[in-house]
Chains A and B, each alone.
Chain A
Amino acid sequence: MSSVLRVEGLRTAIGDVEIVRGVGFAVAAGETLAVVGESGSGKSMTALSIAGLLPRGGRVVGGEVLLEGRDVLALPEARRRAVRGAEIGMIYQDPMTSLNPLTRVGAQVAEGLTAHGWTKVRARSRTLEVLAEVGLPSPAAIARLYPHQLSGGMRQRVLIAAAIAPRPKVLIADEPTTALDVTIQQQILDVVARLRDEYGLAVVWITHDLGVVARIADEVLVMYAGRAVERASVRPLFAAPAHPYTAGLLRSIPTPATVHRGALPQIGGIPAAPSGLPAGCPFAPRCPQRIGRCEHEEPPLTDRSPGHAACWVSPEHWAGEAR
């Protein structure tokens, strides 16, 4: 199966500090890749690098982002703008602030289309079509409302509609359910999953919520300190994590048993700061499986059943206690 989006060796820096240090993955049409990690692990910067919307001072210093074989990083800015929106759609964390408060939501969906050459008439009918597709009742009435007249869940649906209206091939979702309550979360997940199947979208879903990962992802990429520490299909990853960090994340999901005991297991220590990474494996200071080699040599991402992991220690050595 050929990949719609392939990222290879992506490295992104803000100033002199590398935030993303060589991340690679591929997503096929109709497939969802979940990018998981703590705050500051570089997952959002990875998404912004792909979209070409790095904050001031940020720049991609290495690697390739291939959209159907074309390296979008090499395109001039005018062409990148054409790719953005039209071929790569994006939805974000905060639906409350992601819509212009002074513009009717229908106009905001439509302007993404007219910006890419659609006529006003076609953009208007397409807007009503996508508003219906994301499950909003009476799209014509909704299109005339202002953002403050909609609930958070409805706004997120409008944002999804705006993202998919130009029929992009890739949808990047940067924690779009974090600000929503659990029932709305499930509805948004369902909408995106349905659209993914209907449109054959390649979805990159960025989150720190493993519950969301389990529900939507096919493949999972676990990031730590700007690198992929594990990459695997979702079921085997949950069943048998090959990296101590993934295992730690899975252990810290509350279960009835842990809640009853009162103490939620957590990963000790603090996340590595990108500006002061240790010489060896960045996870080593927090790692319960640490061996001498971890202190001075960073492990590469290598084949490690069920997928790939970046760790010197084989999971057989600690599997018993981890699960």
Chain B
Amino acid sequence: MTAGTAAAAPRADHLVARIWRDGNGRIGLVVTGLLVLAAVLGVLGVLPHDPLAQAPADRLQGPSAAHWLGTDQFGRDVAARTASGIGTSLRVAVLSVAIACVAGSLLGVLAGFFRGWADQVIGRVIDVLFAFPALLLALAVVSALGSGWQNAAVAIAVVYTPIFARVARGPTLSVARSEYVKAAQVLGLPVRRILFRHVLPNVAAPILVQVTLALSWAILTESALSFLGLGTQPPQPSLGLMVSEARDIAALAWWVLAIPALAIVIAVIGLNLLGDGLRGAADPRSRTGGDR
């Protein structure tokens, strides 16, 4: 992994610049940047209001100068809770996608490189996991592990691992047969070095795109699990949980429901647009530069 990042480092600024030039990518970058900013503010607790502080006297206030996005049924500031909820959702999403990305990519690269029985075993397990609808599988895992945001992260990781395995396996098949991998074998390099230095960096682009898409799905899945009471536990704010808590009072105070729901929609759209831009920027056909 270290070798891969070292090789990719000199291109990092290029990549962001290329995403920026792409219209969708630019919107995605901005939205994702704002999400991360909100999450950081929420986590650091530098917001004007404490997301957990209840004020029964101020409950169900509409948007005002004191509470920009109003208050909920316990008088808690919706803006602060939404920012903090984005933080919770992003934390679960990043953690689960990180696990899924590392585990899935590794399995996919091993399957694609060695073929044979490893490919058969990994392939069949992936097929089985794919056979379940994503949310159903996540629900099953959380039910088995118990609720809570850590277990929700593990459940989402289990759901997305096969996707990464499949995304990594395809390009590995062709890279494994490439002349430069043969050349590395002729030089007598150990298999581990060939895998991490020659195969992984060359299949990284589609995996990277998959990361942004998986992040948006993971936010959605985390919200769904929390909505059902299986993810983040109250009073900790999470987008899904906030929507769930606001169901009964939506008729009285629309903002309590609308704001976190809107945050979910914006987060998913923003990360998808970023993934779109990344797909274009990381496309190997546009990467060769002025070479051909």
Contact = CB atoms under 8 A, between A and B. Distances in A.
Main secondary structure of the interface of B (DSSP, over half): helix
Contacts of A148: 288-289, 291
A92 B189 contact: no
A112 B183 CA distance: 10
Nearest to B177: A55
Contact of B184 (A56, A100, A101, A149): A100
Interface string B178-222: 111011111111100100011001100000000000000000000
Contacts of B291: 148-149
Interface of A: 51, 53, 56, 81-86, 89-90, 92, 94, 97-103, 111-112, 115-116, 148-149, 159, 162-163
Contacts of B115: 56
B188 A98 contact: no
B183 A115 contact: no
A185 to B, nearest CB: 19
B198 A103 contact: yes
Given A81-B190, A85-B188, A148-B291, A103 B183 contact: no
B202 A102 contact: yes
B187 A115 contact: yes
Contacts of A85: 186-189
Contact of A53 (B178, B180, B186, B197): B186
A94 B178 CA distance: 11
B8 interface: yes
B7 interface: yes
Interface residues on B, range: 20 to 34
A162 B7 contact: no
A115 B186 contact: no
A182 B291 CA distance: 22
Contacts of B202: 100-102
Nearest to B188: A85
A45 B220 CA distance: 53
Interface of B: 7-8, 115, 178-180, 182-190, 193, 197-198, 201-202, 288-289, 291
Nearest to B189: A115
A92 B180 CA distance: 10
Contacts of B190: 81, 115
Nearest to B182: A53
18 contacts: A51-B186, A84-B187, A84-B188, A85-B189, A94-B179, A98-B180, A98-B182, A99-B180, A99-B183, A100-B180, A101-B180, A102-B7, A102-B202, A103-B201, A111-B197, A112-B189, A148-B289, A159-B183
A115 B201 CA distance: 19
A53 B197 CA distance: 20
Given A100-B198, A100-B202, A101-B202, A112 B180 contact: no
B189 A82 contact: no
Contact of A112 (B7, B188, B288, B289): B188
A100 B289 CA distance: 16
Contacts of A99: 180, 183
Contacts of A94: 179
Contacts of B186: 51, 53, 84-85, 89-90, 92, 163
B1 to A, nearest CB: 14
Contacts of A100: 180, 184, 197-198, 201-202
Given A102-B202, A103-B197, A97 B185 contact: no
A100 B200 CA distance: 11
